[in-house]
């Protein structure tokens, strides 16, 4: 798909508008999974009881993520003055340099932004460096790199959801994990007024005693939450079954998406016909369409699908490892035997396999063959801390709920902290009790403002269309 993401978005919105007029029940949201239903599925078993209700990401500006680089420089969301090119860097060496810049995006996937840039500059997606994947329904900023691209080429690139700043030339591309951590500024909308003393006490305890370093729901691929299951199928080398699950499996999705997947299932292995069906929603099914385009060219190469998408394939394996890690620290915490560190499960080290054998449900021989079937998977033995200790904490209560600002090390999830404070929800359906006033959290904490982004992006991008429709219906 080489089309402009904005045009694809408008095409999809037109389909949704037609269904709202003619068949609105097809857009009804499924019953939302409760924490009690979802968390055990992904291994999260030990959370404080009786937490207040909290809702996040009503607007993208409610969830701000700013990458902290290894030199402790923060990749902020605010534009530089006039967004001028101000290079502080090496001199570009012919055919060897990489352009480094900050990618600031709103309501857009890191991987989809990278795919767009790869198509624009005739690159492979893996040639575009990034330290990690940032949230979609959020405002985020992170360092990326592009080989043999000049600032003038990218600065004037017109996109609806992202822009670039802080350009420099470097000899190396940005590598995965090349960051210290992330700085979060989050608005939590609460059903009841939050006691500021309670909030302060809880955050002090977290900073002092730490919290279990769970991999949270984002790791597992909302709304279907099957990423870890895909990872296990890949470990078992059941490639066709994994592709089928990616394309066909439907869980916690609106009726229209379920319907389209079922229609596509009836055309299994008729790849072009399946693609035509799923292109009804080109944004929702962007990854599925890419898979089908690959299968049109190589119809029975199911393993090749995963080689064609190495970044996503890594996510599936990591989700599988995260599921095992979550279960392990849950059990060890319950047994009061939690180590300070434990190795990540995805290595072919037999000792590490032995630690997690209970959850692998596959022999060491088959496990080792499964992860070694993909040469781009990192298999180095790495230790991960079992607890998180948030830093640089600031918080305040508001008439909407509260604002919490904090920094976490790389690989840690903001929602891991938040679920220790609140019984969290997000997305649809929006709770009846929600308070809907827009909050400029960075401004209230005197740390900047997202408002300057409205001079770059369409102000409508910072609204919640579903909320607007609910208001119209009311």
Q: What angle do CA 418, 420, 424 make, to 5 degrees?
A: 55
77, part of any domain? yes
Per-position DSSP letters for 99-146, written without gaps between them: EEEEEEEES--HHHHHHHHHHHTT--GGGSEES----SSSEEEEEEEE
286 close to 292: Cβ distance less than 8 angstroms: no
Q: Mark whether 134 and 52 lie in a shared domain.
A: no
Q: Mark whether 102 and 40 lie in a shared domain.
A: no
The values of phi and psi at residue 380, to 5°, are -65, 140
360 close to 324: Cβ distance less than 8 angstroms: yes
Q: Mark whether 117 and 209 lie in a shared domain.
A: no
Stated pTM of the model: 0.84
Residue 157: the pLDDT is: 80
342, part of any domain? no
441 close to 403: Cβ distance less than 8 angstroms: yes
Can you tell me the distance from the alpha carbon of 243 to that of 100, in angstroms, rounded to the nearest whole number? 35
157, part of any domain? yes
Specify which residues 20 forms β-bridges with.
Answer: none
Q: Mark whether 155 and 194 lie in a shared domain.
A: no
Q: Mark whether 125 and 195 lie in a shared domain.
A: no
The number of domains in the chain is 2
157 close to 104: Cβ distance less than 8 angstroms: no
Residue 156: the pLDDT is: 75
Q: What angle do CA 74, 75, 76 make, to 5 degrees?
A: 95
Nearest by Cα to 167 from 155, 183, 176, 178: 155
Nearest by Cα to 226 from 320, 108, 135, 109: 320
Q: Which class for 3: exposed (0-12), middle (13-18), buried (19 or more C-beta within 10 A)? A: exposed
347, part of any domain? no
Cβ neighbours, 10 Å, residue 395? 19
Q: Mark whether 109 and 164 lie in a shared domain.
A: yes
Q: Mark whether 74 and 204 lie in a shared domain.
A: no
In this structure, what DSSP letter does residue 462 have? G
299, part of any domain? no
Nearest by Cα to 48 from 420, 445, 471: 420
332, part of any domain? no
> What's the helix, strand, coil split of the chain in %, to 5?
40, 15, 40
Residue 474: the pLDDT is: 42
**3 state SS for 25-84:** HHHCCCCCCCHHHHHHHHCCCCCCCCCCEEECCCCHHHEEEEEECCCCCECCCCCCHHHC
279 close to 10: Cβ distance less than 8 angstroms: no
Residue where a domain terminates, one of 105, 137, 170 = 170
Can you tell me the distance from the alpha carbon of 312 to that of 310, in angstroms, rounded to the nearest whole number? 6
Q: In terms of residue numbers, what domain contains 76?
A: 70-170
Q: Mark whether 166 and 83 lie in a shared domain.
A: yes
Residue where a domain terminates, one of 117, 146, 170 = 170
CATH of the domain at 89: 3.30.70.3160
Q: Mark whether 189 and 57 lie in a shared domain.
A: yes
Q: Mark whether 398 and 447 lie in a shared domain.
A: yes
Residue 91: the pLDDT is: 63
Q: Mark whether 74 and 156 lie in a shared domain.
A: yes
Ordered mean pLDDT values, 10 residues apiece, the chain (474 residues)? 72 94 91 88 92 96 97 93 56 77 94 90 92 94 94 82 91 90 98 96 96 93 93 97 97 94 97 98 94 97 96 94 96 96 93 94 94 90 93 96 96 94 90 93 96 92 81 48
Q: Mark whether 115 and 50 lie in a shared domain.
A: no
406, part of any domain? yes
454, part of any domain? yes
């Amino acid at each position: 798909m080489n089309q402009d993401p904005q045009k694809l978005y408008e095409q999809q919105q037109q389909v949704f508008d037609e269904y709202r007029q003619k068949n609105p029940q097809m857009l009804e949201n499924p019953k939302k999974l409760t924490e009690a239903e979802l968390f055990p599925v992904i291994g999260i078993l030990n959370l404080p009881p009786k937490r207040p209700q909290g809702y996040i990401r009503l607007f993208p500006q409610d969830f701000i993520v700013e990458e902290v680089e290894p030199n402790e420089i923060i990749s902020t969301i605010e534009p530089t003055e006039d967004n001028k090119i101000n290079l502080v860097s090496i001199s570009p060496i012919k055919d060897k340099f990489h352009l480094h810049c900050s990618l600031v995006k709103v309501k857009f996937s890191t991987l989809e932004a990278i795919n767009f840039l790869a198509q624009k500059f005739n690159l492979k997606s893996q040639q575009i460096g990034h330290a990690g994947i940032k949230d979609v329904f959020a405002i985020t900023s992170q360092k990326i790199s592009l080989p043999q691209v000049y600032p003038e080429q990218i600065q004037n690139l017109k996109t609806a959801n992202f822009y670039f700043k802080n350009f420099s030339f470097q000899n190396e591309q940005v590598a995965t994990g090349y960051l210290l951590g992330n700085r979060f500024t989050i608005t939590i909308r609460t059903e009841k007024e939050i006691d500021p003393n309670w909030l302060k006490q809880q955050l002090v305890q977290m900073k002092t005693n730490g919290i279990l370093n769970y991999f949270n729901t984002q790791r597992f691929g909302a709304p279907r939450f099957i990423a870890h299951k895909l990872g296990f199928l890949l470990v078992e080398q059941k490639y066709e079954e994994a592709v089928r699950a990616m394309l066909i499996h439907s869980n916690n999705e609106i009726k229209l998406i379920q319907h389209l997947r079922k229609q596509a299932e009836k055309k299994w292995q008729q790849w072009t016909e399946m693609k035509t069906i799923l292109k009804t929603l080109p944004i929702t099914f962007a990854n599925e369409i890419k898979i089908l385009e690959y299968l049109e060219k190589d119809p029975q190469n199911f393993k090749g699908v995963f080689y064609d998408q190495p970044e996503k394939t890594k996510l599936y394996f990591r989700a599988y490892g995260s599921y095992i890690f979550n279960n392990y620290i849950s059990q060890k915490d319950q047994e009061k035997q939690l180590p300070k560190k434990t190795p990540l499960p995805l290595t072919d080290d037999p000792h590490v396999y032995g630690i997690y054998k209970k959850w692998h449900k596959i022999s060491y021989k088959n496990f080792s063959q499964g992860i070694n079937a993909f040469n781009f998977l990192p298999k180095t033995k790495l230790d991960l801390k079992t607890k998180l200790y948030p830093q640089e904490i600031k918080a305040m209560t508001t008439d909407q709920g509260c604002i919490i600002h904090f920094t976490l090390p790389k690989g840690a999830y903001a929602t891991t902290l938040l679920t220790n404070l609140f019984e969290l929800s997000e997305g649809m359906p929006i709770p009846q009790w929600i308070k809907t006033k827009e909050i400029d959290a960075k401004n209230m904490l005197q740390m900047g403002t997202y408002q300057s982004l409205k001079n770059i992006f369409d102000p409508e991008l910072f609204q919640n269309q579903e909320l607007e429709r609910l208001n119209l219906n009311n």
